[in-house]
Chains A and B, each alone.
Chain A
Amino acid sequence: MTSARETVLGRVRDALALAPTPATAVPRAYRTGWALPDPERLALFTDRLLDYRAEVHPCTADRTAKVVAEVLRDHGARRIGVPAGLDPRWLDAYDGEVCQDAADIPAPRLDSLDAVVTASAAGCAETGTIFLDGSPDQGRRALSLVPDLHLCVVDLSSVEAGVPEAVARLVPERPTTLISGPSATSDIELERVEGVHGPRTLVVVIRTDR
């Protein structure tokens, strides 16, 4: 008996033989290699994030710990989760409980955290998108998903102007999550509502000199 695999591939070949079409060249005349100076990239990225109702805090790298602590305090986050590779100095000014994540912690336990703090792999100014790729300072995907507040630290130098430039930074084999604002839905009368299953609050700390 022919396997489904052989049958389907055979059908595809037959179909292409029935209706042969010439090879297609892909025109890539769209914008690539777009670059913007730091202040403009920062302004664009911030504008987009605010448009999604994310909270944005630009700061210099030496103020990271102070800003992180202030944000967590303002949101009443007393118990936070962090990936194992997060720079511990970012939490120097935070006086709440810090739980380091590990692969064997069951996901439901993450639900009891008030917030999660992660770094990021890249960003895209034009769409206000943050890319996480599971590196040690970002952690497994469940960690940045289950807690209701995600505080993400982004270095401005990792924020590209446009989508092609940002996609070029990604490593395909890594589990990658693109985040553009807090979770949202347009399912009720096509009106955007923030806050469904993912974190309902997204706070982005942009380090302007890194």
Chain B
Amino acid sequence: MSTFLGMPARPPRSPYGTGNLRGDEPFPRAAHQELGNGQLRRNLHKATTTIRAKRLNVTGELPDWEALRDAGSAIKTDAMNRLPELLEQLELKVTEHGGTVHWARDAAEANEIVARLVRATGSSEVIKVKSMATQEIGLNEHLESAGITPYETDLAELIVQLAHDKPSHILVPAIHRNRDEIRQIFLDRIPGVDPELDNVPAHLAAAARAYLRQKFMTTKVAVSGANFGIAETGTLSVVESEGNGRMCLTLPDTLITVMGIEKVLPRYQDLEVFLQLLPRSSTGERMNPYTSLWTGVTPGDGPQDFHLVLLDNGRTAALADAIGRAALNCIRCSACLNVCPVYERTGGHAYASTYPGPIGAVLTPQLAGMHAADDDPNSSLPYASSLCGACFDACPVKIDIPSLLVELRHQHTEQAGTTPEKLAMKAAAAVMKRPALYTGAQKAAGLGRVVAGRDGTISRLPPPFNGWSDSRDTAAPPRRTFRAWFASDEGRATLRAAADEHDRGQGESDQGPGEPDRNQGEDGTR
């Protein structure tokens, strides 16, 4: 490693996160099992088709949608750049308004903080608002082991919890279940439910209402996540639909909010952007039914004891990667899942992480690492994509997921790849970085085919990618396969030239995997 001779010592990279961020088997194997489940595929197809149409309707009707996306993307990038000062400001403001701020390095620490706070109240149960962060750290499991019963109150989370199932979607965790299955789960698991309950969604929702009503009225402690935390004012926000969020945020005596450090926004005014981007992208509504905004404690209104737990758990590891950190801009709308042809066929469980789908494929390996040499299932995630680009088109904060996937594949092959794989990856990386070459390759082959499967042969791309064009917002490139293009003289020449150029661009430096600065010097811009 000769790169940084003469430079000051580089700071250490943060440890990776822990919790529900890693499965037992690689994506292709997990996906293969899920693909055998016809019911799952029908459920997913129906749901994602519905939501795609709704989203396009409500994003299309705004004349300034693209300008909102640009603003949203820049606000998040700016927030990441200024994270230390913003977090300190948020802490100060929450404290000024009567809240208590806690910091957690990882999942275990966050879990312990929450359990300790609950114990201090004397309560042995908590009601929970759907939250990705607490799912990620496995809070429910930890609370149960500490003798505290968590009750999920979001309808989909309730379905998942009652069925001892796992969430499969970041917005609609029970998307893999249809109404008949949900009816059966309720009949089997809700004490005292009407045995005549049918499968009409409104009736199923009413059954959940009746079941949870008493919990809302009597439970003294609630645990929530947060969609946004405003540094300027100390205001926290939960965006929801059912009113279970309002119940949890309002009725208990104690509220504990677990928030990833990347959720901080600089200004209150920034809400004007995200309150437009998020609902339209997630449920395809102009506005979600309920959004709660609260700042510390308000005398006479809501919980009088408020705790904010700020969670790292691998976020700083992701932040140290100049390219990969864009994944931290995610506002968890789930649009990228809903348009993804891979997700639509495999479902969320195949990703084996709290974060499935395209964003999961880039976020999970960065939060929890991909230890390629040890056959880590996470190192298969960057390949769980056809790179069709639909996710990038749909993302309200313009995260270029395909490029991030390519970058992660690159990092993976640098760590563990075989020679042909490395060649293809180098070529792909070079092609991606040069607009003219990139466009040429895309024209010839479609971006989806530019990058090889992990064993270096194209045929090993996970199976069902041929349906990708129906979920794209824009016209698909010509359907000449990468294999055909690769086999042609033109393809071979292009890749060879690109690989050579890539090697030249690397210059003397031989930066190892995980070095965040890698590739930045390639175009001679630094």
Contacts and interface: CB of A to CB of B under 8 A. Distances in A.
Our verdict on whether A and B bind, yes or no, reads yes
Interface of A: 3-5, 7-9, 11-21, 23-32, 48, 51-52, 103, 107-108, 111, 124, 126-129, 134, 140-142, 145-146, 163-164, 167-168, 170, 172-199
Interface string B271-295: 1110110010001011111111111
Instruction: Output the residue of B11, B87, B244 with the most chain A CB within 10 A.
Output: B11
Interface of B: 10-14, 43, 46-48, 50-51, 63-64, 67-68, 70-71, 74-75, 77-78, 81, 83-84, 87-88, 97, 102-105, 109, 153-156, 159, 172, 174-175, 178-179, 182, 201-202, 204-206, 208-209, 212-213, 216-218, 230, 232-233, 235, 241-244, 246-247, 249-251, 261, 268-269, 271-273, 275-276, 279, 283, 285-295, 298, 300-302, 310, 312, 316-317, 319-322, 325, 516-517
A27 B516 contact: no
Contacts of A31: 63-64, 67
B283 A186 contact: yes
A205 B291 CA distance: 21
Contacts of B288: 180
B84 A9 contact: yes
A19 B325 contact: yes
A24 B289 contact: no
A105 to B, nearest CB: 11
Given A103-B300, A196-B209, 16 more contacts: A4-B103, A7-B105, A14-B13, A19-B516, A20-B322, A24-B77, A25-B74, A141-B246, A145-B243, A167-B269, A172-B295, A173-B97, A187-B174, A188-B179, A189-B46, A196-B241
B123 to A, nearest CB: 16
Contacts of A21: 77, 81, 322
Contacts of B233: 172-173
Given A12-B261, A28-B71, A175-B295, A184 B289 contact: yes
Instruction: Decide if the interface of chain A is mainly helix, strand, loop or mixed.
Output: loop
Given A14-B14, A127-B287, A183 B78 contact: no
A9 B88 contact: yes
Contact of A18 (B10, B201, B275): B10
B212 A197 contact: yes
Contacts of B291: 177-178
